[in-house]
Structure 1
């Protein structure tokens, strides 16, 4: 449902998509009020990781005003000016660093000063994208929009597994005056598979077993498969034991698909075996390749956001089947910026009658919009 606007304040209800609404509020300068945040649950109000996110937004802005109700079920957020600069932040271990890093990635190009953020916490979480996936699949998308990529970097200093974390990453993002339009309609064929397996405070043989299981699946489809192992030791291994894998498929048109799997399942104390972790990640990557499109499904929403904020020109991007998060940001972009996307479903050719339905190619969707010409007025100029 569209928000209710009272005195130029967007009023929402419920905790769903709270991070998205705070992000768009910061970019648009529009205040938001969110009521009924988990008011019917036994533990009502904002969660610790959401309060932690608000603190991070306060660090990279100047003049942000936040008001919380007594029970935490009501939030008023009035955004300030994006200033960026050097920021050190300890993330809540209930969520991965990727939960916070995605917000910084969306806001970084529009800060007053180049963003240099040091984030500490859980680098690999089942609930959020890992830092490896962000580096491999999200940064190349941003490079399609920015004019100068000097200084864009994501470095993993230490890895940290849940529940205690102990990881650390450094994210650097240059500022931009504006974003250029995007025309990305071809994604090509997969030509190589690369990956990394990390082992934190466990036997090094765990990493080798994960590699063997993943390669056992991928080598049936492609010969060019190389998976590196990162067997962290000492302080670089974080505070909790764990292992996992991140696989990246690269096409001849520079499209990147990524999948990952960890030893610990979200919401469960069960630990997956190394063989299960490797096979699960390989199958996830094959599903991502089957979905197709020019961007990884986890970052469709970022591409749509930057298309809407681009210059006043037509931008086009072909994606696979849109995720629920992508559908919601398209609705929210209409609310905050008045941008409407034209959605063209491109159906694949019908499979032969002898083919089973499960092997048919899924449809693709072409997103088309005219950017609002968002300009970074805070950027310092000579």
Structure 2
């Protein structure tokens, strides 16, 4: 076989997604100028950790990083899958940062994947593990991913700065390929579910968030239930914090989510109590904000919320050579970048048609026909 040429890319933008698409399309990449002009140049700890994770679950994968961390050569291997993997995600980004690419890769492995991830389970930057469990996994089922073996167990929670959370992700392999979808009917919201959590603080924070969120939702529909998940002891991680994750389910099987987490992170040198009180929002404000954010996501329209646009487009592009058609609200910056990366790596272009009357956008594409060939020879 001839030596595959490296695709040359620049910058740190969407590094995680580029590495994911590189692996799926078996395209080696060379990424240069990674934060070359920054005060702290090169790869960040979570990016290096993600590369190590790719090495863990793949066979014959090659990673080369220069001394300053500003240049990376990545040659993808075969995703093996398997059980009993353990990966420490560190504390610079949450487990959610690692879950999205891991879920997609796991579908195209030789064997079903089961992996234990340790780190921060809930933070404001990445989707929480609750959102992955309630919203992301059901999206996969729309594309023909079997329910059996598709699971995310939250064994302990951890917030910034020290983490200490732990989850176990199980992903089945697709039998041959995904299933193309026509998914344009959002339906009407029929119920709202949610979960609040607290670690190393009083459970009163959770009760306050539930009361505040219900105060907004109960004016709109009766079927609202928000669970509480108070952790103590070893299940509470290393740092105190609290948060909430909400999901709206529609009559056509769409799941729209919003979440956040608040942690009592102290500064390295000075952690004056007065300063902390000023920085931390009140629990009732958090409950109201996330309830309002969920309503804003619903108002935008679309079959997924803005944080899941990238995953939706990626799954459509990986489908067989058949037409997939989906509806989303206003295109998010991450969604737009995903469309560009899909075009570059998979050669799949989407037809984008705005619908001014609803404020939504309909996207159509013909999938690249990615098949799980590794499973056939296992």
TM > 0.5: yes
- Give yes or no for the alignment of 1:367 onto 2:366: no
Query: Using the alignment, how far apart are the partners of 1:56 and 1:40 within structure 2?
Result: 27
Residue 92 of structure 1 and its aligned partner are, at CA, apart by: 1.5
Q: Counterpart of 1:31?
A: 28
Query: What is the total number of aligned residue pairs between the two structures?
Result: 364
Query: Using the alignment, how far apart are the partners of 2:308 and 2:368 within structure 1?
Result: 21
Instruction: Render the CA deviation track for 1:195-216: whole Å, top value 9, x for unaligned.
Output: 1110110011111111111111
CA-based RMSD: 1.7
Residue 39 of structure 1 and its aligned partner are, at CA, apart by: 1.0
Q: Judging changes above 3 Å, is the alpha-carbon distance between structure 1 residues 280 and 267 closer, same or farther for their aligned structure 2 residues?
A: farther
**Could you tell me which of 150, 167, 170 is aligned with 1:169?**
167
Residue 71 of structure 1 and its aligned partner are, at CA, apart by: 0.8
**Could you tell me which of 34, 43, 47 is aligned with 1:46?**
43
Q: Counterpart of 1:77?
A: 74
Answer yes or no: is the 8 Å Cα contact 2:124–2:262 preserved in 1.
no
**Could you tell me which of 278, 284, 290 is aligned with 1:275?**
284
Instruction: Render the CA deviation track for 1:331-355: whole Å, top value 9, x for unaligned.
Output: 111111111111111112xxxxxxx
Residue 147 of structure 1 and its aligned partner are, at CA, apart by: 4.9
**Could you tell me which of 127, 144, 148 is aligned with 1:146?**
144
**Could you tell me which of 336, 348, 355 is aligned with 1:327?**
336
Residue 316 of structure 1 and its aligned partner are, at CA, apart by: 0.6
- Give yes or no for the alignment of 1:253 onto 2:252: yes
Q: Counterpart of 1:351?
A: none
Q: Which stretches in structure 2 are left out of the alignment for 5+ residues?
A: 268-275
Q: Judging changes above 3 Å, is the alpha-carbon distance between structure 1 residues 7 and 287 closer, same or farther for their aligned structure 2 residues?
A: same
SS in 1 for 2:375: coil
Q: Which stretches in structure 1 are left out of the alignment for 5+ residues?
A: 1-5, 349-360
Q: Counterpart of 1:227?
A: 226
Residue 168 of structure 1 and its aligned partner are, at CA, apart by: 0.6
Query: Using the alignment, how far apart are the partners of 1:381 and 1:16 within structure 2?
Result: 35
Q: Residues 187-206 of structure 1: matches in 2 within 5 Å?
A: 187-206=186-205
SS in 2 for 1:379: helix
Instruction: Render the CA deviation track for 1:210-256: whole Å, top value 9, x for unaligned.
Output: 11111112222222211111111111111110000111111111111
Answer yes or no: is the 8 Å Cα contact 1:179–1:310 preserved in 2.
yes
**Could you tell me which of 47, 53, 57 is aligned with 1:56?**
53
TM-score (norm. length: structure 1): 0.92
TM-score (norm. length: structure 2): 0.93
Query: Using the alignment, how far apart are the partners of 2:345 and 2:265 within structure 1?
Result: 33
Answer yes or no: is the 8 Å Cα contact 1:263–1:273 preserved in 2.
no
**Could you tell me which of 293, 299, 311 is aligned with 1:290?**
299
Residue 127 of structure 1 and its aligned partner are, at CA, apart by: 1.2
Residue 264 of structure 1 and its aligned partner are, at CA, apart by: 3.6
SS in 2 for 1:263: strand
Answer yes or no: is the 8 Å Cα contact 2:239–2:264 preserved in 1.
no
Query: Using the alignment, how far apart are the partners of 2:149 and 2:114 within structure 1?
Result: 10
Q: Counterpart of 1:355?
A: none
SS in 2 for 1:378: helix
Query: Using the alignment, how far apart are the partners of 2:59 and 2:370 within structure 1?
Result: 20
SS in 2 for 1:149: coil
Answer yes or no: is the 8 Å Cα contact 1:113–1:380 preserved in 2.
no
Answer yes or no: is the 8 Å Cα contact 2:241–2:264 preserved in 1.
no
Residue 121 of structure 1 and its aligned partner are, at CA, apart by: 0.5
